Structure 1
Amino acid sequence: MNPRIGCCTTLFFDLDGTLTDPREGITRCLQYSLERLGRPAPPQAELVQYIGPPLRWTFPRLLGTDDTTLVEAAIEHYRQRYATVGLFENELYAGIPELLGALHDTGLRLFVVTSKPTVYAERIVQHFDLTEYFEAVFGPHLDGRFDDKSELIAYILHERAIAPDRSVMIGDRASDITAGQANRTRTIAVTYGFGSIEELQTVGPDRICHSPSEIRQTLDGPPLTRCPAG
């Protein structure tokens, strides 16, 4: 292992907005679901803000209701399109295969840790030929278990006997960073996804990176220390 990375043994990568750009698929599926329910569908540009959080967080806000029956109906419509079409309206960010290959070759343990249900996340990782780089893909169950990413990371740390202080959570939304912090991992926020720089600075990640190549440079550099908020 590269001795400059030696302080970190495990990397947790978010999927949407960190490894892949799912903008087209997710926004179209949100529109489809709303239309099936007879609700007006905002333009794609307005729906980008909902990429990242679980659907059971998103639909109450889009529908303006806490009616669980209506929310579950919206999720069902969403998944009808997503499972067959939306899943593949997606593309890798430039430099991701090279980044993962280089990190994997150092002997680091790599995991996908996403708010997307595992059944879909695994298909996406396989579709983009990334399976060889990851030890496992973790996401929520379809019934909502582990929708809270903090709980998901806690489960992985325990299940795989991983030391939090030798792990790094890498993601594009504040929720990725706070989930890592809640479990005492180090954190890297990326700005090329869907979280604004203001959103990311507010939660105080250890580092902020603007490209996949910068993630590699950061992990090759000095040990991570928390960067200031604001």
Structure 2
Amino acid sequence: MTGPAAAPTGAPLALLDLDGTLTDSYPGIAASARVAFAALGLPVPDDRALRRFVGPPLPSSFALFGVPPERVPEAVEAYRGYFREQGMWQNSVYDGVPEQLAALRDAGVRLAVATSKPEVFARPICQRYGLAEHLEGGVDGVFGAPLDDVPSTKADVIAAALAALTPTGPVVMVGDRSHDAVGAAAHGLPCLGVAWGYAEPGELEDAGAIGVVPRVDGLAAAVLDALAGATGTLPEVSASASPAAGPTTGT
């Protein structure tokens, strides 16, 4: 799929997290994690605990749950075996996200996805669920982690996006977990948090997010405000993209 025409040089850029920011990917991630813990003969965490899997790099999540370091590769392999076949499609776009992305593009903002999910999974997900059409260069505007065993952080993913997109205008990272804020800070970028994802209470604020957007229908306006903080003025978001009411998330 060919994405929208590139915005002019100097246009602001928003880097968007995927899981918990654009899509509700918990069902597939949780199912894949359950398969992995069972395959290793380890206790399967409950649903509340498994929410912490959404966002961070997968090896870090397994380590956080006490999987011995020497067994983390085995856990990752079991997880991805299920995820490739089923888990990646147990997913949905949050209600209102496409309209917010369209509003940002209409306001002249370049958009790209920067996710800790392996890029080989993130690109087809963005393609299937209609997100790629809003991104700079379509699926070429999706940046993720490598699938191999090379350690990768959110800062690494952001670095790859910045190198490919070479922005000359202001840049903001948008995400739902602390590693989004930490990764952005590594490049001197502000991070705008979103409240409909998987962060614990206070997690984003403690990590240095400049603010937290409470509802999907306020995303475009909040991104423009964040970018305007660095440039002074930006086009206003269309009122049609910010309904006064309606569901915050999809199912």
Q: TM-score range by the shorter chain?
A: 0.7 to 0.9
Superposition pairs for residues 60-209 of structure 1, below 5 Å? 60-67=63-70, 70-135=71-136, 136-145=141-150, 147-163=152-168, 166-209=170-213
Distance in 1 between residues matched to 2:163 and 2:127, nearest whole Å: 25
Distance in 2 between residues matched to 1:104 and 1:112, nearest whole Å: 14
- Other-structure match for 1:228: none
CA 10–220 in structure 1, closer or farther in 2 if over 3 Å, else same:
closer
Deviation at 1:103, TM superposition (A): 1.1
Distance in 1 between residues matched to 2:223 and 2:121, nearest whole Å: 28
Deviations 1:28-63 (CA, angstroms, capped at 9, x unpaired): 110101111111212222211121111111112324
Deviation at 1:198, TM superposition (A): 0.8
Which amino acid is the alignment partner of residue 188 of structure 1? L
Structure 1 vs Structure 2: percent identity of aligned residues? Answer: 33
Deviations 1:62-121 (CA, angstroms, capped at 9, x unpaired): 243121xx2111111101110111011111111101011111222321100000000100
- Other-structure match for 1:224: 229
Which amino acid is the alignment partner of residue 76 of structure 2? I
Contact 1:115-1:139 at 8 Å conserved across structures:
yes
CA 207–9 in structure 1, closer or farther in 2 if over 3 Å, else same:
same
Q: Determine if the alignment matches structure 1 residue 18 to structure 2 residue 55.
A: no
Contact 1:12-1:111 at 8 Å conserved across structures:
yes
* TM-score, L = length of structure 1: 0.87
Distance in 2 between residues matched to 1:132 and 1:82, nearest whole Å: 24
Structure 2 unaligned blocks of 5 or more: 1-9, 231-251
CA 182–105 in structure 1, closer or farther in 2 if over 3 Å, else same:
same
Structure 1 unaligned blocks of 5 or more: 1-6, 226-230
Contact 1:10-1:167 at 8 Å conserved across structures:
yes
Deviating more after overlay: 78-87 vs 149-158? 149-158
Aligned residue for 2:117, secondary structure, equals: coil
Deviation at 1:146, TM superposition (A): 6.2
Deviation at 1:216, TM superposition (A): 1.4
Aligned residue for 2:85, secondary structure, equals: coil
Distance in 2 between residues matched to 1:217 and 1:160, nearest whole Å: 23
Distance in 2 between residues matched to 1:76 and 1:152, nearest whole Å: 21
Counterpart pick for 1:32 among 32, 35, 39: 35
Distance in 1 between residues matched to 2:150 and 2:164, nearest whole Å: 16
Q: What is the number of equivalent residue pairs in this alignment?
A: 216
Deviation at 1:192, TM superposition (A): 0.8
* TM-score, L = length of structure 2: 0.80
Contact 1:206-1:224 at 8 Å conserved across structures:
no
Contact 2:11-2:108 at 8 Å conserved across structures:
no
Counterpart pick for 1:49 among 40, 49, 52: 52
